[in-house]
Amino acid sequence: MGCCDTQGLLPIEDAIQTMLADVSPLKISQKLPLETALGHVLAEDVRSPIDVPPFDNSAMDGYAVRTQDLTTTDTLPLAGKAFAGQPFSGEWPEKTCIRIMTGAPVPTGCDAVIMQEKTEATPEGIHFLTSQVKAQANIRPQGDDFKQNEVVLPAGSRLTVRDLPLLASLGISQVLVLRKPKVAIFSTGDELKPVGEKLDAGQIYDSNRYAIRPILENFGCDVIDLGIIPDNQTQLTETFQQAQSLADVVITSGGVSVGEADYTKTILESLGTINFWKIAIKPGKPFAFGKLNHSLFCGLPGNPVSAVVTLYVLVQPMLAKLAGHTQWQAPAQIQATSKVSFKKSPGRTDYQRGVFSVENGQIVVDNAGNQSSGAFRAMSTANCFIVLEQQRGSVEAGETVTIEPFNPALY
């Protein structure tokens, strides 16, 4: 691991690499019915048991022909019908055509389907208005999408709403998936009150669990929510013990900043090996990562925006590895023109909250609002992070900046 930059802050990439090096993928797999497999990671390659489509079929409503027949005439008498689910089964006389509907198997010998719009019915038969018919026109060939035994989805893919109909089209009813990582979460702080209760003097609502839980679920984790724990040594120790006995990873928010680190540090040191890092990221400088006796541990900063940014930027890759999600991709970064200026001094990578859009064919990005790490409004308004590189200084309006559109975890 590279160490620290001039200000003693750990670069983001070093933190991510250290975390990744400490984690091995969960290996436990289970069979799940397709209906409940959404969001799970495949434990093995899924191969197609059949050709898809399973037979040559028509892509259009029209007429099945043998193109050879149309070299001498442009009108063919009708010899029968082929509908989806009701194939044409009789003898197909020469120089005739068959009415065919979309999805119907093409009759043996048919080498093109002529769409209905290019025909007219006459007393002599179907008159084809088009003289040149390409062989195989409007026929979807057997195995066009998948050949039998072809890999459809590789092991390590996480099943999306788009994968499920794909698997269903192959007749697959069950898939072998990896167990989801179990993550125990709790908020720490004497000042925290659950929503729905009245605030006393000096109190604020615990909002972090309302971000952390669904984001973790979007990452593909099962979450065990242990609530709010006050800054009390006994209670914290008990909760850490309980959390690590229940989960693969324990994630807390609050209590890892300079003022409180020593306190949490004492507890965590007795339960495992934890690094208290100062990361070169804004917001989110204080962050803890390490191993308890029975689980991994991530300590997010308490400020709500910092908690989300560190969870998204630092913890997401580690959880993807733990989940066996080898096909996971880091959020894409693209270039945009900044509509506004941003104040920044070199030293930390800045994850400003932005709103990007397309104006006159150009990607532009605006400030989403108040950039304080305690002010969540701009996080709600934003649709991307504006990633201002570690060594970059202030940005003027009109400059090119890197943006990271939010991935589905933040929706």
Residues lying near ligand AMP in the complex (CB under 6 A): 187, 189, 191-192, 204, 206-208, 253-255, 257, 260, 301-304, 374
Indicate the residue among 51 and 206 with the shorter CB distance to ligand AMP.
Answer: 206
311: three-class secondary structure by DSSP: helix
**Residues in contact with Mg ion, total (CB under 5 A)?**
4
Minimum distance from residue 231 beta carbon to ligand AMP (Å): 8
The candidate with the shortest Cα–Cα distance to 144, out of 259, 26, 14, 51, is 51
Residues sharing a CB contact under 8 Å with residue 98, sequence separation 6 or more, in sequence order? 63, 64, 78, 79, 80, 81, 82, 88, 92, 107, 110
| Burial (CB count within 10 angstroms: exposed 0-12, middle 13-18, buried 19+), residue 151 | exposed
Indicate the residue among 62 and 255 with the shorter CB distance to ligand AMP.
Answer: 255
254 binds Mg ion (CB under 5 A): yes
> Quick one: what does residue 207 bind among Mg ion, ligand AMP, none, with the CB cut-off 5 to 8 Å set by partner type?
ligand AMP
Residue owning tokens 């050879």: 68
Binding mask 140-159 for Mg ion (x = CB under 5 A): --------------------
Does the bond joining 283 to the residue before it have cis omega, within 30 degrees of 0?
Answer: yes
Going by the DSSP 8-state scheme, the letter that residue 257 receives in this structure is S
> Quick one: what does residue 187 bind among ligand AMP, Mg ion, none, with the CB cut-off 5 to 8 Å set by partner type?
ligand AMP
**What are 332's two structure tokens?**
């894409």
Indicate the residue among 177 and 307 with the shorter CB distance to ligand AMP.
Answer: 307
Indicate the residue among 96 and 310 with the shorter CB distance to ligand AMP.
Answer: 310
11 binds Mg ion (CB under 5 A): no
In the range 46-75, which residues lie near Mg ion by CB under 5 A?
A: none
**Closest residue to ligand AMP using C-beta atoms:** 302
Tell me how far apart the alpha carbons of residues 342 and 337 are, in angstroms, rounded to a whole number.
Answer: 12
**Is-contact 310 286, C-beta < 8 A?**
no
Stretch that binds Mg ion, among 106-114, 243-251, 253-261, 308-316 (CB under 5 A): 253-261
> Quick one: what does residue 206 bind among ligand AMP, Mg ion, none, with the CB cut-off 5 to 8 Å set by partner type?
ligand AMP
397: three-class secondary structure by DSSP: coil
Indicate the residue among 14 and 260 with the shorter CB distance to Mg ion.
Answer: 260
Q: HSE-up of 248 (CA within 13 Å, CB side)?
A: 20
**Is-contact 31 175, C-beta < 8 A?**
yes
DSSP secondary structure letters along 96-127? -EEEE-TTPBPPTT--EEEEGGGEEEETTEEE
Tell me how far apart the alpha carbons of residues 100 and 115 are, in angstroms, rounded to a whole number.
Answer: 9
Indicate the residue among 67 and 207 with the shorter CB distance to ligand AMP.
Answer: 207
Minimum distance from residue 85 beta carbon to ligand AMP (Å): 57
**Is-contact 356 14, C-beta < 8 A?**
no
Binding mask 187-226 for Mg ion (x = CB under 5 A): --x-------------------------------------
Indicate the residue among 303 and 349 with the shorter CB distance to ligand AMP.
Answer: 303
Minimum distance from residue 204 beta carbon to ligand AMP (Å): 6
**Is-contact 12 280, C-beta < 8 A?**
yes
Residues near Mg ion (CB under 5 A) are 189, 254-255, 302
